[in-house]
Amino acid sequence: MYWVWLVTRDGGSEGMANSRKPGIRKTLGGNGTPGKISPRRPSPLKGGFIRVSVATAIPGLLREYGLDPGKVLIEAGIEPRLIEDPDNVIPFATMGRLINFCATKTRCRHFGLLVGQRGGVSSLGTVGLLIRQARDVGSALDDLVRYLHLHDRGAVPRFVVRGSMATLAYTISEPRLEGADHIADAAMAVTMNIMRSLCGPDWVPSEVRLPHRKPAYAAPLQRFFHAPIKFDEKEAALVFPAKVLQQPLAGADADLHRHLLNYVQQLDAASDADVVDQMRRILRTLVLNHQSSAEQLAQLFSVHRRTLNRRLRQQGTAFHLLLEETRFELASQMMSETSIPLAQIAALLNYSEASAFSRAFRRWSGMTPTEWRRRHGR
């Protein structure tokens, strides 16, 4: 099994590959110190799934709007008991539909933000425990992007440091996701709360980026983030001064961090993830950052390009097919969710000119980008 993270410091990328190992169960002694670790086969997330932890806030929010949570959830096709346990998992697409459905029922266009505001470090389960024990903010964010996929396999995180500024980004990898705007808002709200738990309750970013059109009523977003917000962006992200990364975390326990890291690594190694599915997810981030060559993807998976191509052939596909599929999905998402001009979308997808993008999109969809946006844009 392969797991990949994207952490860039001064332009460098890192990746790692692991072989499959048995899972473990971590137990703590009565005084909260690390106890015995015993073998166990975990029930890992598959591609496109997410833990329901943040969604546990939804019933309370529905009550605040005078609605019966049970009835709304059943109408949305969700068994109410499913979201009572934060460790349950649901398809990422189901989470998007659920939040979008609740936004419609409550007539609240910022419902995703409200859901995310109630999340934070504790929503991440074991990954949240791990990052709270890191030595400093930078190390905590490294852990976050490396292991977020144990909590969320519907998106790819990205942590970049360039010069004096840092960017913590979240790119949805689920194609044509219903409620993508709500998911992006929720993800950035959770990320904001994570940063405040690491840096202090008064922390604010220099900038917030959201991959959807500016809503008619943006005041709730502004009140929560207390920072300039840019809409119609290629990915959701918080931008902030890199100097905060050196800030030590109060109460961090190096021994506990080491035990938790060992636990998380073994859970990760035991997870039954589909390599091609992971490649599709990672490619979305690579394409948006103009790093979408087969060599770059192979490097992230710590394999030679020939090995990468052989594995893709074994799964009945090829790199160029994955790349074209990814470009089409990204183009479709940006044209439906944002007002980014078509020429800019072409540039973001690394086309030399808009006409080349138009020809490719017509080949994929049977219609021009302009016609597609007219039919599917919101």
Residue 323: CATH number of its domain: 1.10.10.60
- Looking at residue 227, what is its pLDDT? 97
264 and 326 fall within a common domain:
no
What is the total count of domains within the chain?
Answer: 2
Higher pLDDT, 375 or 95: 95
Residue 260 has pLDDT above 70, yes or no: yes
Its domain, for residue 362, covers 275-376
103 and 237 fall within a common domain:
yes
- Looking at residue 151, what is its pLDDT? 92
**Mean per-residue pLDDT for 203-212?**
97
- Looking at residue 30, what is its pLDDT? 34
Q: Could you say which of 230, 256, 273 is where a domain stops?
A: 273
Residue 193 has pLDDT above 80, yes or no: yes
- Convert the pLDDT of each residue in 228-245 to its tens digit: 999 999 999 999 999 999
Sign of CA dihedral 32, 153, 250, 264: positive
- Looking at residue 290, what is its pLDDT? 82
149 and 292 fall within a common domain:
no
188 and 216 fall within a common domain:
yes
313 and 253 fall within a common domain:
no
Q: Could you say which of 209, 240, 273 is where a domain stops?
A: 273
**Mean per-residue pLDDT for 265-284?**
77
217 and 341 fall within a common domain:
no
- Convert the pLDDT of each residue in 275-324 to its tens digit: 777 788 788 888 887 888 888 888 877 788 898 888 888 888 899 888 98
Q: What angle do CA 248, 250, 256 make, to 5 degrees?
A: 95
CA atoms within 13 A on the CB side of 124: 26
268 and 289 fall within a common domain:
no
Eight-class DSSP state of 39: E
- Looking at residue 257, what is its pLDDT? 96
H-run or E-run covering 2: strand 2-3
254 and 279 fall within a common domain:
no
198 and 333 fall within a common domain:
no
How far, rounded to the nearest angstrom, does the alpha carbon of residue 277 sit from its chain's CA centroid?
15
- Convert the pLDDT of each residue in 30-75 to its tens digit: 333 333 333 333 333 444 889 999 999 999 999 999 999 999 999 9
Cα 144 from Cα 130, distance rounded (Å): 8
264 and 310 fall within a common domain:
no
- Looking at residue 106, what is its pLDDT? 97
Let me know if 11 is exposed, middle or buried by CB neighbors in 10 A (0-12, 13-18, 19+).
exposed
Strands 49-51 and 89-91: antiparallel
256 and 284 fall within a common domain:
no
* SS3 assignment, position 227: coil
Q: How many residues does the chain have?
A: 378
Q: What percent of the chain is modeled with pLDDT above 70?
A: 86
283 and 307 fall within a common domain:
yes
- Looking at residue 195, what is its pLDDT? 98
Q: Could you say which of 231, 256, 273 is where a domain stops?
A: 273
